[in-house]
């Protein structure tokens, strides 16, 4: 892929038309959910080749299925057997792509998905209850603990989830075209607990 | 109106909270803590419903979910809800309830004349009567039956409330919160297990709330309250009140319906009306208690006849008298307990009737009829007397005046939910009821649900069941639920008694479905001699009842008629849901526009702002056309878009096409397996059209795939098949050819893609590409390149064409989509670049004879589409062998042709069949069909694509298009599908 | 119904897509039409225990061999087809 030369183009935020910032729903509830759409996320799919798997991905040991590793703002999460995704806001997608492609060489194929996967953070003590309205995963913190990552589906949408701390906070990646439906689902499911959408 | 049947003290109601409500428009009052049923009874309101078939007057007979009679409509307008059991409705201020299934009023119901013709309404009546003639069904029979036999009326407007669905997980699900359920939950939770306990009532406690029980020198409430408080304090316990476990499904999955806001006039803000829970439980304990069964006697449905346990519940929990002068009838020591509880709220028991010859009720101080039974309830719309006679005598000896008859036939374990997976209950003569086997998968049945009816026994059974569950979970019980000095009234010493023989009047076994003992006997006589057949013939145990109250009575009557035992007869299968679940709850948030997720392209907002009218293509919203002011319809807009594109340049959002990134050293080999044509020799920087078959030889999908590097291809699929093709590739790779070194992932979402088509498309693009030679020589037809545009924006450019024009598809990362689109629009302004939608796209591809979804319908082969020549002979591919089957290579198969009406003003519609002129219009004469149609502004005619037997050799022939759906016929001529620019000169320009 | 995906753990049925019972090995390219007809169409379809292909479409996309009782829905084993051979 040719390097982009300081394009004047700015990346649109796929959530901008579907998630206004502000407080919504049952805002008197102490378990207010925080919803944070993430802007300018760089995200890659890394798939092991026959000559793989890669020894490192973005400098990190590739996590086992169901897990994630993270350092200095770069997260590598397992997507399935021999497949990972990188999520970071610390560099541009082109920069990340070139770096990882060089790093893994012939051990893996690398595909830029920065624009295809829209990312959102969901945080708060009611977050597991909200997610349980969509997915059959057991979100109890003893089961889907910080450091867990998995693909699942919510209301017929493919969603990749990472549990990143014990607040708990989750990142969800959904297909860009479905941000409207995912946001609608999230707003309807979180209304009973109350939620605050932060500025991206 | 004063609550004349309410005792001045006692009960668990809050007399400081007076609630007003209406029933059939009449004003009443009750208290917080009441149900609608207890409040109606407190007000002396006996007649609450008319029965389903005979429109007989009906009253409240139970205090729980088994209530078969008191089905009412709640609320009005859009929130009107029919068939709600008054016994489970929590009273709230302002509640509006009304009776149903009566006309014009409850007291005077014209259709109660059905009773007079009742001999004709016997079992199988509908099957026997409404058979002939068939033409009468819809206009005559159905209308009459609907009016006569319908239950309540559904609301006619959309439900304004929201419903949710949610999942929950636990080690142990405890169903029911009576003594067994509480003991089980406490035992498991104390050991650290994750416990969910659910109860259908508004409060936890089950029978402890309605019976007078004292545990450990405390009254029942204090013990219950302490148990509940302890459970509430433990974080590993989730407690669901107002929640019914309605179904058991495989692998420990349970359906629960939580009535979050049914007890409010309308749900509070941001609160769903109900939540449908799916609980995944490693173990479960069914502690759902038992349901009291009636004694079947004459006119046992007359308002004022009530179950004894219900009468005690109304007395103990609601301080309501079942009557002022009560006859108590039963077959166990529950009789004595009932007499005592009724007395405590000031109801006068005027007679005690016990079927046992040695009844232990000597000390009750009322007239006692031993070895006797109530044979008939006398009166009109209310009970006025009980007709009493000796058991088995067949005659009545005495009438006792009364206003209520309180009956107990014993208790039936409530095993409903335990049977949902098909396990059969067996008759347990010790219990006089059907119980479940011990081996029930992850479930254990405990307490009254297992035939244990004393409180101490239930506490022990709950604890024991929890211990079994803990051991299966690899956990050990910690603190025992130590009891217990228990003081409760007399119970037990039951002597089985199910029905009175030779009684006058109608003897109901199933109140809800109006099934009598005679119906069951008739069913047997007419050959429906198994319980399941009799159920279907008579409707016994059907609908929401599911045999809750009378199933054992019914089994006993069938056994008598068959000279068999109850064990032989068995009970009918109960099916989920245990109690009705509103359809809204099953929908949850998936209603309206978000019934399924919707998908929008990165340029959606631009389309919206520029007059696009959208059409749903699968989940996607795509512009169908862009309506300009002054244009009258889609056709005018589409014609303009086609002419502008063919005349100069157009732009179309094709982001929805499936895009799959394929990499790896075997990427080309893999594509060779998937497509009928070859890929390993495709040069880097080139695109190729590919066709995929299913293994059965039918076409699966088509699209262009480009080679970006030696080991890197980018495949496109049709919008509709994108997900299916991806799954197909995963199957082929993972299952059939795992040895291939190939990696692939959907990048549909990563790339915004637009088709720029028309003779001026190169001129437009040349203004936005950065340092890229776009000339025909440097970038010829089927070129593919990675480049940048608009000063550094990464992009991919493909010189491919669906419209048949000089055309390109330009892809950019999705977040840049809208900026790239605007850039193309600006560059195209001098050429009047015109956005076009699916209508114009469709018209242009039909003009060119390009197959699309209507042609790739799963029944067509590559050769049917005229693409048989693409099939490689040199390699194996999916579908190769089976596409050679005789039926698929038959030259007489329908082949794709172009179709033009001989009268060019005739509209062509897809779906019409093609027949020879003069032939009879029957399928035997069918020559083919029209698959796609469009208006071609270039040809100034409607045109179509279709399939005609041996069609390619019949060009020039004329056939009659017969459109039965639209009632039209017109002549079409078979032509080459390439109807515009047949030589493809424009493509290569 | 729930399937214990070897990668993702226990998930409910809406995450999976069934293809049908485990077919025989795909015949060689030159095996001829009868062999392919058998491969494509002739299922055992037993009442009771059987091995089926399911894909974890709403998850890791793995094709799984699920040994399942078609009457009780009890699942005895779940294996990634790539690990099975």
CB distance A81–C11 less than 8 Å?
no
d(CA B41, CA B6): 8
**What sign for the dihedral angle of Cα B841, B843, B844, B845?**
positive
Q: What is the pLDDT of residue B914?
A: 98
Pairing relationship of beta strands B793-798 and C9-12 according to DSSP bridges: unpaired
Structure tokens at A35: 């919803």
B546-564 tens-digit pLDDT = 788 889 999 999 999 999 9
> Which residue bears the tokens 């009789």?
B335
As to burial, measured by CB atoms within 10 angstroms (0-12 exposed, 13-18 middle, 19+ buried), residue C14 is middle
C49-83 tens-digit pLDDT = 999 999 999 999 999 999 999 988 999 999 999 98
DSSP E strands, B122-236: 163-175, 195-198, 213-215, 218-219
CB distance C60–A81 less than 8 Å?
yes
Cβ atoms of B644 and B941 within 8 Å: the answer is no
Q: Which 3 state secondary structure label does DSSP give B456?
A: helix
Cβ atoms of B477 and B470 within 8 Å: the answer is yes
| pLDDT exceeds 80 at position B882 | yes
Q: Which 3 state secondary structure label does DSSP give B87?
A: helix
Residues of A in contact with C64 (CB under 8 A): none
Reported as type and span, the H/E element at residue B942 is: strand B941-949
As to burial, measured by CB atoms within 10 angstroms (0-12 exposed, 13-18 middle, 19+ buried), residue B755 is buried
Cβ atoms of A57 and A86 within 8 Å: the answer is yes
CB distance C33–B731 less than 8 Å?
no
Cβ atoms of B612 and B622 within 8 Å: the answer is no
| Cis omega (within 30 of 0) for bond into B133 | yes
Residues of C near B (CB-CB distance < 8 A)?
1-2, 10, 12, 17, 19, 26-27, 29, 31-33, 35-37, 39-40, 53, 55, 57, 61-63, 72-75, 81-82, 85
Q: What is the pLDDT of residue A9?
A: 75
Q: Establish if A1 touches chain B: CB-CB under 8 angstroms.
A: yes
CA–CA distance from B821 to each of A15, A174, A179, B800, B835 (Å)? 19, 24, 20, 18, 10
CB distance B884–C33 less than 8 Å?
yes
Q: How far is A85 from chain C (nearest CA, A)?
A: 12
Comparing B141-145, B868-872, B889-893, which segment has the lowest mean pLDDT?
Answer: B141-145
B264-299 tens-digit pLDDT = 999 999 999 999 999 999 999 999 999 999 999 999
Measure CA B739 to chain center.
43
d(CA B839, CA A38): 37
Which one of C2, C59, C82 has the shortest CB-CB distance to A152? Answer: C59
d(CA B539, CA C63): 46
Cβ atoms of A32 and A26 within 8 Å: the answer is no
CB distance A136–C7 less than 8 Å?
no
Q: How far is A2 from chain B (nearest CA, A)?
A: 6
Cβ atoms of A100 and A84 within 8 Å: the answer is no
| pLDDT exceeds 90 at position A83 | yes
CA angle B369, B371, B372 (to 5 degrees): 55
d(CA B411, CA B424): 19
B497-525 tens-digit pLDDT = 999 988 999 999 999 888 999 999 999 99
* Helix spans in C1-85 (H): 33-41, 81-84
Q: Which residues contact B582 (CB under 8 A, 6 or more apart)?
A: B81, B163, B257, B274
pLDDT higher at A8 or B77 = B77
Q: How many residues does chain B have?
A: 989
Which chains form contacts with chain A, at 3 or more CB pairs under 8 Å?
B, C
| pLDDT exceeds 50 at position A1 | no
Structure tokens at B481: 């639920």
A52-62 tens-digit pLDDT = 899 999 999 99
Q: What is the pLDDT of residue B480?
A: 81
Q: Which residues contact B922 (CB under 8 A, 6 or more apart)?
A: none
Torsion of Cα atoms, B927 then B929 then B934 then B935, to 10°? 30
Residues of A in contact with B269 (CB under 8 A): 26
Torsion of Cα atoms, B883 then B889 then B890 then B891, to 10°? 140
> Which residue bears the tokens 């969603």?
A159
Q: What integer is the mean pLDDT of B81-88?
A: 93
Q: What is the mean pLDDT of chain B?
A: 93
Q: What integer is the mean pLDDT of B580-587?
A: 93
HEC string for B469-512: HHHHCCCCCCCCCCCCCEEECCCCCCCCCCECCCCCCCEEEECC
Q: What is the pLDDT of residue A5?
A: 46
Cβ atoms of B500 and B218 within 8 Å: the answer is no
ipTM above 0.85, yes or no: yes
Structure tokens at A109: 């194929």
Residues of B in contact with A31 (CB under 8 A): none
CB distance B734–C10 less than 8 Å?
no
CA angle B44, B50, B51 (to 5 degrees): 130
B799-824 tens-digit pLDDT = 999 999 999 999 999 999 999 999 99
Which chains form contacts with chain C, at 3 or more CB pairs under 8 Å?
A, B
Q: Establish if A157 touches chain B: CB-CB under 8 angstroms.
A: yes
Q: How far is A81 from chain C (nearest CA, A)?
A: 7
Phi, psi of C53 (to 5 degrees): -95, 125
Q: What is the pLDDT of residue B119?
A: 56
| Cis omega (within 30 of 0) for bond into B617 | no
CB distance B280–A181 less than 8 Å?
no
Cβ atoms of C57 and C16 within 8 Å: the answer is yes
Which one of A79, A137, A138 has the shortest CB-CB distance to C60? Answer: A79
B733-773 tens-digit pLDDT = 999 999 999 999 999 999 999 999 999 999 999 999 999 99
**Band of the pLDDT at B710, cuts 50, 70, 90?**
very high
Contact pairs from chain A to chain C, CB under 8 Å:
47
Which one of C2, C12, C60 has the shortest CB-CB distance to A80? Answer: C60
As to burial, measured by CB atoms within 10 angstroms (0-12 exposed, 13-18 middle, 19+ buried), residue B854 is middle
Contact pairs from chain A to chain B, CB under 8 Å:
160
pLDDT higher at B573 or B949 = B949
Question: Looking at chain B, which residue has its C-alpha nearest residue C19?
Answer: B731
Which one of B278, B598, B770 has the shortest CB-CB distance to A180? Answer: B598
C12-42 tens-digit pLDDT = 999 999 998 876 789 999 999 999 999 999 9
Chain A neighbours among C 36-65 (CB < 8 Å)? 58-62
| pLDDT exceeds 60 at position B361 | no
d(CA B928, CA B899): 12
DSSP state of B683: P
pLDDT higher at B362 or B761 = B761
Q: Which residues contact C33 (CB under 8 A, 6 or more apart)?
A: B881, B882, B884, B885
Which chains form contacts with chain B, at 3 or more CB pairs under 8 Å?
A, C
| pLDDT exceeds 70 at position B122 | no
B11-22 tens-digit pLDDT = 999 999 999 999
As to burial, measured by CB atoms within 10 angstroms (0-12 exposed, 13-18 middle, 19+ buried), residue A102 is exposed
CB distance C58–A158 less than 8 Å?
yes
Torsion of Cα atoms, C53 then C58 then C62 then C68, to 10°? -30
Comparing B219-223, B315-319, B945-949, which segment has the lowest mean pLDDT?
Answer: B219-223
Radius of gyration of chain C (CA): 14
CA–CA distance from B685 to each of A148, B747, B763, B808, B810 (Å)? 41, 19, 21, 14, 14
Structure tokens at B987: 């493509």
Q: Which 3 state secondary structure label does DSSP give C78?
A: strand
| pLDDT exceeds 80 at position B252 | yes
Q: How far is A103 from chain B (nearest CA, A)?
A: 17
């Amino acid at each position: 892929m040719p390097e982009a030369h300081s394009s004047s183009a700015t990346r649109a935020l796929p959530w901008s038309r579907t998630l206004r910032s502000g407080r919504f729903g049952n805002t008197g509830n102490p378990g207010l959910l925080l919803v944070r759409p993430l802007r300018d996320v760089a995200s890659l799919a890394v798939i092991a080749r026959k000559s793989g798997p890669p020894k490192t991905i973005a400098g990190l040991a590739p996590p086992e299925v169901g897990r994630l590793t993270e350092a200095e703002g770069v997260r590598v999460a397992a997507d399935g057997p021999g497949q990972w995704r990188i999520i970071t806001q610390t560099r541009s997608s082109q920069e990340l792509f070139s770096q990882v492609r060089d790093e893994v060489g012939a051990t893996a194929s690398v595909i830029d998905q920065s624009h295809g996967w829209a990312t959102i953070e969901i945080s708060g003590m009611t977050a597991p209850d909200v997610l349980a309205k969509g997915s059959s995963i057991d979100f109890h913190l003893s089961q889907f603990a910080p450091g867990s990552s998995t693909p699942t589906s919510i209301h017929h949408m493919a969603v990749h989830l990472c549990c990143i701390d014990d607040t708990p906070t989750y990142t969800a990646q959904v297909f860009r075209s479905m941000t409207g439906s995912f946001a609608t689902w999230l707003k309807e499911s979180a209304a009973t607990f109350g939620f605050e959408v932060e500025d991206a | 109106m004063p609550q004349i049947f309410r005792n001045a003290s006692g009960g668990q109601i809050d007399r400081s909270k007076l609630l007003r409500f209406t029933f059939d428009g009449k004003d009443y009052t009750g208290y917080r803590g009441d149900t609608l049923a207890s409040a109606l009874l407190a007000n002396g309101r006996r007649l609450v419903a008319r029965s389903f078939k005979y429109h007989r007057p009906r009253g409240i007979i139970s205090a729980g979910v088994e209530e078969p009679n008191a089905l009412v409509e709640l609320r009005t307008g859009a929130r009107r809800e029919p068939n709600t059991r008054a016994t489970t409705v929590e009273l709230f201020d302002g509640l509006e309830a009304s009776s149903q299934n009566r006309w014009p009023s409850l007291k005077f119901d014209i259709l109660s004349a059905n009773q007079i013709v009742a001999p004709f309404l016997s079992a199988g009546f509908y099957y026997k009567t409404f058979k002939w003639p068939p033409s009468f069904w819809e206009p005559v029979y159905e209308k009459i039956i609907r009016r006569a036999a319908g239950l309540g009326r559904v609301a006619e407007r959309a439900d304004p409330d929201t419903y949710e669905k949610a999942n929950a997980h636990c080690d142990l699900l405890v169903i029911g919160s009576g003594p067994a359920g509480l003991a089980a939950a406490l035992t498991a939770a104390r050991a650290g297990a994750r416990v969910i306990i659910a109860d259908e009532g508004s409060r936890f406690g089950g029978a402890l709330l309605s019976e007078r029980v004292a545990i450990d020198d405390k009254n029942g409430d204090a013990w219950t309250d302490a148990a509940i408080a302890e459970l509430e304090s433990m974080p590993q316990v989730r407690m669901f009140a107002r929640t019914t476990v309605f179904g058991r499904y495989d692998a420990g999955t349970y359906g629960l319906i939580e009535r979050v806001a049914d007890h409010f006039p309308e749900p509070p803000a941001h609160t769903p009306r109900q939540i449908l829970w799916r609980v995944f439980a490693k173990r479960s304990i069914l502690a759902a208690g038992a349901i009291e069964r009636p004694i079947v006697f004459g006119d046992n449905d007359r308002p004022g006849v009530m179950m004894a346990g219900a009468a005690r519940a109304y007395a103990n929990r609601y301080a309501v008298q079942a009557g002022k002068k009560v006859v108590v009838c039963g077959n166990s020591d529950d009789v004595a307990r009932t007499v005592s509880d009724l007395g405590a709220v000031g109801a006068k028991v005027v007679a005690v009737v016990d079927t046992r010859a040695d009844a232990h009720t000597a000390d009750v101080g009322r007239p006692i009829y031993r070895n006797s039974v109530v044979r008939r309830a006398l009166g009109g719309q209310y009970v006025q007397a009980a007709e009493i006679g000796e058991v088995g005598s067949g005659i009545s000896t005495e009438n006792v005046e009364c206003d209520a008859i309180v009956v107990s036939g014993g208790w039936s374990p409530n095993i409903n939910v335990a049977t949902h997976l098909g396990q059969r209950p067996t008759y347990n003569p010790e219990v006089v009821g059907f119980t479940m086997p011990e081996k029930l998968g992850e479930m254990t049945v405990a307490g009254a649900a297992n035939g244990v009816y004393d409180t101490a026994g239930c506490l022990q059974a709950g604890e024991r069941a929890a211990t079994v569950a803990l051991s299966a979970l690899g956990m050990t019980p910690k603190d025992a639920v130590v009891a217990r000095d228990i003081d409760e009234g007399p119970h037990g010493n039951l002597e089985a008694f199910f029905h009175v023989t030779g009684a006058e009047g109608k003897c109901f076994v199933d109140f809800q479905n109006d099934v009598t003992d005679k119906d069951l006997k008739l069913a047997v006589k007419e050959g429906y001699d198994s319980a399941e057949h009799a159920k279907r013939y008579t409707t016994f145990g059907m609908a929401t009842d599911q045999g809750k109250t009378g199933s054992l009575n019914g089994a006993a009557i069938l056994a008598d008629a068959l000279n068999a035992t109850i064990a032989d007869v068995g009970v009918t299968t109960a099916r989920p849901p245990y109690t009705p679940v509103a359809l809204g709850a099953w929908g949850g948030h998936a209603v309206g526009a978000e019934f399924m997720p919707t998908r929008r392209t990165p340029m959606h907002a631009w389309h919206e702002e520029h007059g696009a009218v959208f059409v749903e293509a699968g989940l996607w919203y795509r512009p169908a056309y862009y309506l300009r002011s002054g244009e009258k319809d889609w056709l005018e807009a589409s014609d303009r878009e086609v002419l502008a594109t063919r005349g100069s340049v157009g732009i179309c959002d094709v982001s929805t096409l499936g895009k799959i990134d394929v990499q790896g050293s075997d990427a080309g080999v893999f594509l060779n397996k998937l497509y009928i044509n070859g890929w390993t020799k495709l040069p880097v920087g080139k695109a190729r059209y590919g066709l995929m078959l299913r293994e059965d030889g039918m076409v699966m999908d088509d699209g262009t795939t480009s080679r970006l590097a030696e080991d890197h291809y980018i495949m496109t699929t049709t919008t509709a098949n994108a997900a299916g093709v991806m799954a197909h590739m995963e199957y082929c790779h993972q299952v059939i050819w795992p040895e291939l070194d190939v990696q692939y992932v959907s990048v549909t979402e990563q790339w915004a893609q637009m088709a720029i088509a028309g003779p001026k498309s190169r001129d437009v693009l040349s203004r936005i590409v950065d340092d890229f030679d776009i000339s025909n020589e440097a970038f010829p037809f089927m070129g593919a390149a990675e480049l940048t545009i608009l000063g550094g924006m990464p992009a991919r450019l493909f010189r491919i064409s669906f419209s048949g024009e000089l055309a390109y598809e330009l892809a950019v990362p999705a977040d840049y989509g809208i900026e790239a689109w605007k850039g193309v629009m600006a560059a195209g302004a001098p050429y009047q670049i015109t956005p076009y939608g699916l209508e114009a796209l469709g018209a242009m591809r039909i003009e060119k004879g390009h197959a699309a979804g209507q042609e790739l319908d799963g029944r067509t082969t590559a050769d049917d589409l005229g693409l048989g020549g693409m099939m490689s002979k040199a390699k194996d591919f999916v579908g190769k062998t089976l596409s050679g089957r005789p039926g698929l290579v038959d030259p007489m198969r329908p082949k794709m042709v172009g179709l033009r009406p001989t009268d060019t003003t005739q509209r062509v519609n897809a779906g019409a069949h093609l027949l020879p002129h003069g032939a009879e219009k029957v399928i035997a004469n069918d020559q083919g069909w029209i698959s796609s149609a469009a208006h071609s502004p270039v040809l100034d005619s409607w045109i179509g694509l279709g399939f005609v037997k041996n069609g390619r050799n019949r060009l020039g022939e004329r056939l009659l298009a017969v459109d039965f759906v639209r009632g039209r016929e017109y002549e079409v001529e078979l032509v080459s599908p390439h109807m515009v620019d047949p030589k493809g000169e424009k493509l290569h320009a | 119904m729930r399937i214990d995906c070897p990668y993702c753990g226990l998930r409910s049925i809406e995450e999976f897509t069934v293809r049908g019972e485990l077919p025989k090995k795909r015949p060689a390219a030159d095996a001829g039409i009868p062999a392919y007809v058998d491969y494509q169409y002739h299922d055992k379809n037993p009442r009771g225990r059987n091995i089926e292909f399911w894909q974890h479409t709403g998850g890791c996309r793995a094709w799984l061999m699920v040994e399942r009782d078609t009457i009780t829905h009890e699942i005895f084993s779940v294996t990634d087809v790539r690990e099975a051979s």
